[in-house]
Amino acid sequence: MIVKGRNVHVNMQRRQLELIASVISKIPADVDVSRDCIATMFAARLAREQVNPNFDVCRFVEACTTEGN
C-alpha cells in the first residue's frame, strides 16, 4: 500500500477484516450503490467502533470519494 508517497506494509487484524466484511454484507445485492454511500457506511461503522480518537467522518468520506486518490 502506498501512503503519502511511502510504501507501507499494513498487517490487518481479524477484527478489521470482519468490520469490512460486515459493512459490505449490508449492501443489498440488487442495488447499484455509489462510492459515496459505501464510504458513508464505512465511516459510520468506524466512528461507532472508535477506531481512532482523531477519526473525522467528513474527511474520511471526502478522501474516499475524491477522484485521483
Q: How many domains does the chain have?
A: 1
Which element (helix H / strand E) includes 14?
A: helix 14-25
8 lies in which domain range? Answer: 2-65
Which element (helix H / strand E) includes 45?
A: helix 35-49
Mean pLDDT of 16-39: 85
Using the predicted structure, report yes or no on whether residue 69 has a pLDDT greater than 60. no
Calculate the alpha carbon distances from 21 to 16, 18, 26, 63 in Å. 9, 5, 9, 20
Query: What pTM does this model have?
Result: 0.68
Is the Cβ–Cβ distance between 41 and 33 less than 8 Å? no
State the chain's mean pLDDT as an integer. Answer: 82
Separation of alpha carbons 54 and 39, rounded Å: 17
Using the predicted structure, report yes or no on whether residue 27 has a pLDDT greater than 60. yes
